[in-house]
Amino acid sequence: MGQGAGRREPTMREVAALAKVSTKTVSRVINGLPGAGTEVTDRVRAAARTLGYRPDLTASSLRRSDRRSATIGVLFEDLSNPFDSALLRAVEDRARHSGVLVLAGSSEDDRALQRELLVSLSARRVDGVVVMAAGGHQDALHQERERGTPMVLVDRPPTFGGTDCVTTTNRDSSRDAVLRLAALGHRDIGFLGDRRTLWTSQERYTGYLEGLAQAGLTLREELVRTDLHGDAPAEAAARTLLGLARPPTALFTAQNLVTVGAMRALRARGEHRRVALIGFDDFRLADLLEPGITVVRQDVPGIGRKAAELVLARIDGDTSPPVHAVVPATLVRRGSGEIPPPTG
Amino acid sequence: MGQGAGRREPTMREVAALAKVSTKTVSRVINGLPGAGTEVTDRVRAAARTLGYRPDLTASSLRRSDRRSATIGVLFEDLSNPFDSALLRAVEDRARHSGVLVLAGSSEDDRALQRELLVSLSARRVDGVVVMAAGGHQDALHQERERGTPMVLVDRPPTFGGTDCVTTTNRDSSRDAVLRLAALGHRDIGFLGDRRTLWTSQERYTGYLEGLAQAGLTLREELVRTDLHGDAPAEAAARTLLGLARPPTALFTAQNLVTVGAMRALRARGEHRRVALIGFDDFRLADLLEPGITVVRQDVPGIGRKAAELVLARIDGDTSPPVHAVVPATLVRRGSGEIPPPTG
DNA sequence: GGTGGTTACGTCAACGATGACGTAGGAGTG
DNA sequence: CACTCCTACGTCATCGTTGACGTAACCACC
């Protein structure tokens, strides 16, 4: 394989020949199973070292009774997204502790691609998968789950039953954010949200509504903009809101990039010190801006670790009822969320 | 395997039995090879669909002559780091185009861990690896390469020969950044760098020295701080420099987090509009800060794509001489790098 | 001193798939 | 009609490894 060199990896048979034992004995030594004498063990070890033998896990897992590949699949929306990559890292760390490696892919919130990647993962016989479900129907995931593949959904719950899931306190934390703004005296609180097909967007919007209701505020529909995918549309939407005859005095932005877009709009209008802003999802440097951006911070490592733990447990045969773990998010005050409404 | 359900995947043999043909014929149909009549083909396809048959790539690649697993390994320092995850994404995209999936791991710049992960990857018989070499000696990588594993190093070159590598214009871009500061009239330009064991740090430092020399400036060693790992140490170092009797009027920060640390220090002292700053590596929101941060931006997707292309070509048997590809970085002016020195 | 148990091996088949090769039947050719 | 060639299958061994099982040697004990 090496730059055309075509060197083959040594096999157990070759080790066995060199050590003058059977392959079965080599297998015993390599796997540390009983039934090999000390002298033979030494001979086999020496032969393996001499030849540079390394076991072939794929052949091994083909034959073994448990059929484990010691590999799990991770299917997130976009591995270059900070949220997704932090999640991946957390899953990876937990998995490595169990000797499990991670096959990772980005599904770009595209169902066809997600299905394709799922097929690729199953062709490699991964032991289980951790998935961020693409928007819309989840037939492919459901089918895969029905086949018996251990599966944990993260960030968004399944639309089918019998499957573990880890999410954050989307609704409650959004409600709390809105209540905090209301407590400062804000009565016109705008909402900027991501694609409505996303469960998280819906939950955060619901939380926004709950917050308004609980604070005794009435919803002004013209202050709500959703389906903002990326920071550019979010910026445009924010500009529109701020240009209204009776503009919002505070904004709740329900996603990472939407927050960034809103910040750009506020800055462009020179209103970033006058209009309050709370965003969902923390981001690096949020504290270095002026004012610092108040955010709802998800416990991303916690979510990833939990998801990995769940899938590993299922792989190990845990048959307890499906779990929907909710990892609490916290509000981080940095200034932008503490701006009071203009007096008068 | 599913939550203890223990359902087995159907095999070719079962499909063959249902379609009343031999397994070899099923193999032909599944792989689209000639030698199967239309009627038989239809019967096999129907049987496969009925049973929900999915080929086992691991068994297949065990038997096949080319032994390909259609999987490559990616070993970066920290998959949750924005640079690393953007790189991973670029590699993943290019690999997917060739039907190749990615087994990813973080080596945390730890040689022992990197070696361990390398062993795990080889146990799974990956076709090749893309590696960000951990600092210090590269014996493990060298050995793996000697065994014939196709390998491409990214970000940092190998200390051994015969191996492809993709890096950016560390030295030249650093020199240009320093020259730009000098052209504005800066004569006291500080350097803040990451761990000196890293090749990139050394290169960027060399570029700094070249820039000083070319601008006719003499090095003031007390303005150089290296081995800053993370933003906290960088912030402390920047504070020290700014507190000198004759402080720098401009800073060149040679890494992502070091730039962040320097910004914090400048802000804490209220000097972020007076002291010029150019950082190596772009980061999100650099444009939203005040002033915007001027940076040397690497073409991360370009680096990742190139690395993937190289390793895939080697896997396909390309035996041309090893390549050291250098992907150019560009200077992005946002304000902080255009601050002139105080007059007088 | 036979019986039973344990230890240290070996032999064989099988995991799921494919490469090498065999073969029956039909088409084409002289 | 005999011969060749091709197509469409099937048979068998094998990839690297391990589970099931066999067996020879040795020890202990009644």
| Closest chain B C-alpha to A212 CA, distance in angstroms | 30
- Cβ contact A2–B103 (<8 Å): no
CB B26 within 8 A of CB B12: yes
Rounded percentage of chain A residues whose pLDDT exceeds 70? 98
Please give the helix or strand (H or E) that residue A225 lies within, else none: strand A224-225
Q: What is the mean pLDDT of residues B215-235?
A: 96
| Lookup: nucleotide whose C1' is closest to B19 CA | D9
Q: Give the model's pLDDT for residue B3.
A: 46
Q: Can you give the C-alpha Rg of chain B in angstroms?
A: 26
A16 CA, C11 C1': separation in Å?
14
Q: Give the model's pLDDT for residue B344.
A: 60
- Cβ contact B57–A123 (<8 Å): yes
Nearest residue on chain B to A95, alpha-carbon basis: B105
Reply yes or no on whether the pLDDT at A290 is more than 90: no
B19 CA, D2 C1': separation in Å?
37
What domains, with CATH codes, occur in chain A? 2-55 (1.10.260.40), 71-167+300-326 (3.40.50.2300), 170-299+331-338 (3.40.50.2300)
- A 10 A CB-CB count for B271 gives 15
Q: How far apart are CA A262 and CA A336, in angstroms?
A: 12
Q: Give the model's pLDDT for residue B8.
A: 85
Nearest residue on chain A to B319, alpha-carbon basis: A3
Q: Which residues contact B45 (CB under 8 A, 6 or more apart)?
A: B29
Rounded percentage of chain B residues whose pLDDT exceeds 70? 98
Is residue B253 packed enough to be buried (19+ CB in 10 Å), middle (13-18) or exposed (0-12)? Answer: buried
Nearest residue on chain A to B321, alpha-carbon basis: A3
- Cβ contact B3–A314 (<8 Å): yes
CB B286 within 8 A of CB B331: no
A1 versus A214: the higher-pLDDT residue is A214
How many helical (H) and strand (E) elements, i.e. helices and strands, does chain A have? 12, 12
Q: How far apart are CA A331 and CA A41, in angstroms?
A: 59
Q: How far apart are CA A41 and CA A63, in angstroms?
A: 23
Which two tokens mark A210? 């709950």
B26 CA, D1 C1': separation in Å?
38
Q: At A2, is the pLDDT very low, low, confident or very high (cuts 50, 70, 90)?
A: very low
CB A279 within 8 A of CB A259: yes
B316 CA, C15 C1': separation in Å?
29
Closest CA to B302 of B285, B326, B279, B281: B326
- B contacts of A284 (beta carbons < 8 Å): 82, 260, 283-285
Write the residue in B56, B88, B104 that is nearest to A125 by C-beta: B56
Q: How far apart are CA A55 and CA B119, in angstroms?
A: 10
Q: Which bases of chain C are under 7 A from a protein CB atom?
A: 7-12, 14-20
Q: Give per-residue pLDDT as tens, A297-338.
A: 999 999 999 999 999 999 999 999 999 999 999 999 999 999
CB B311 within 8 A of CB B103: no
Q: Backbone phi, then psi, for B238, in 5-degree steps?
A: -65, -40
What residues pair up with B94 in beta bridges, in sequence order? Answer: none
Reply yes or no on whether the pLDDT at B23 is more than 60: yes
Q: Give the model's pLDDT for residue B249.
A: 98
- B contacts of A80 (beta carbons < 8 Å): 82, 85-86, 88-90
Q: At B287, is the pLDDT very low, low, confident or very high (cuts 50, 70, 90)?
A: confident
Q: Give the model's pLDDT for residue B5.
A: 47
Q: At A8, is the pLDDT very low, low, confident or very high (cuts 50, 70, 90)?
A: confident
Sheet containing B250-253: order of strands: B224-225, B189-192, B250-253, B276-280, B294-297, B330-332
Nearest residue on chain B to A323, alpha-carbon basis: B3
Q: What is the mean pLDDT of residues B231-259?
A: 96
Is residue B334 packed enough to be buried (19+ CB in 10 Å), middle (13-18) or exposed (0-12)? Answer: middle
| Closest chain B C-alpha to A56 CA, distance in angstroms | 5
Q: How far from A135 is each of A42, A140, A252, B107, CA to CA, in Å? A: 57, 12, 23, 33
Q: Backbone phi, then psi, for B4, in 5-degree steps?
A: 85, -10
Q: At A6, is the pLDDT very low, low, confident or very high (cuts 50, 70, 90)?
A: low
CB B336 within 8 A of CB B276: yes
Q: Give the model's pLDDT for residue A115.
A: 97
A20 CA, C6 C1': separation in Å?
24
Reply yes or no on whether the pLDDT at B322 is more than 60: yes
Footprint of strand D on the protein (CB under 7 A): A 8-9, 11-13, 23-24, 27, 30-31, 55-56, 59-60, 62-65; B 20-25, 34-37, 39-41, 59, 62-63
Reply yes or no on whether the pLDDT at A243 is more than 70: yes
The sign of the dihedral angle between the CA atoms of B317, B318, B320, B326 is negative
Q: How many Cα atoms are found within 13 Å in the side-chain-facing hemisphere of B289?
A: 29
Q: Which residues contact A116 (CB under 8 A, 6 or more apart)?
A: none
Write the residue in A6, A9, A79 that is nearest to B88 by C-beta: A79
Reply yes or no on whether the pLDDT at B6 is more than 70: no
- A and B: number of Cβ contacts within 8 A: 202
- Cis-peptide into B322, omega within 30 deg: no
Q: How many Cα atoms are found within 13 Å in the side-chain-facing hemisphere of A260?
A: 18
Alpha helix (H) residue ranges in chain B:
12-19, 23-30, 38-51, 57-63, 82-97, 111-123, 139-146, 170-183, 199-214, 231-242, 256-268, 300-315
Question: What's at A325, amino acid-wise?
Answer: A
Q: Give the model's pLDDT for residue A70.
A: 98
Closest CA to A338 of A211, A209, A183: A183
Q: At B307, is the pLDDT very low, low, confident or very high (cuts 50, 70, 90)?
A: very high
CB A258 within 8 A of CB A279: yes
A24 CA, C9 C1': separation in Å?
9
Q: How many Cα atoms are found within 13 Å in the side-chain-facing hemisphere of B72?
A: 32
Q: How far apart are CA A147 and CA A21, in angstroms?
A: 42
Which two tokens mark B29? 């149909």
Q: Give per-residue pLDDT as tens, A28-59.
A: 999 999 989 999 999 999 999 999 999 999 99
Nearest residue on chain B to A83, alpha-carbon basis: B80
Q: How far apart are CA A231 and CA A239, in angstroms?
A: 12
Question: What's at A12, amino acid-wise?
Answer: M
- Cβ contact B92–A71 (<8 Å): no
What residues pair up with A254 in beta bridges, in sequence order? Answer: none
Closest CA to A250 of A221, A273, A284, A216: A273
Q: Give per-residue pLDDT as tens, A84-143.
A: 999 999 999 999 999 999 999 999 999 999 999 999 999 999 999 999 999 889 999 999
Q: Give the model's pLDDT for residue B343.
A: 84
| Closest chain A C-alpha to B286 CA, distance in angstroms | 9
- Cis-peptide into B291, omega within 30 deg: yes
Q: Give per-residue pLDDT as tens, A258-286.
A: 999 999 999 999 999 999 999 999 998 88
| Mean pLDDT, chain B, whole residue set | 95
Q: How far from A274 is each of A189, A217, A235, CA to CA, in Å? A: 13, 21, 17
| Mean pLDDT, chain A, whole residue set | 95
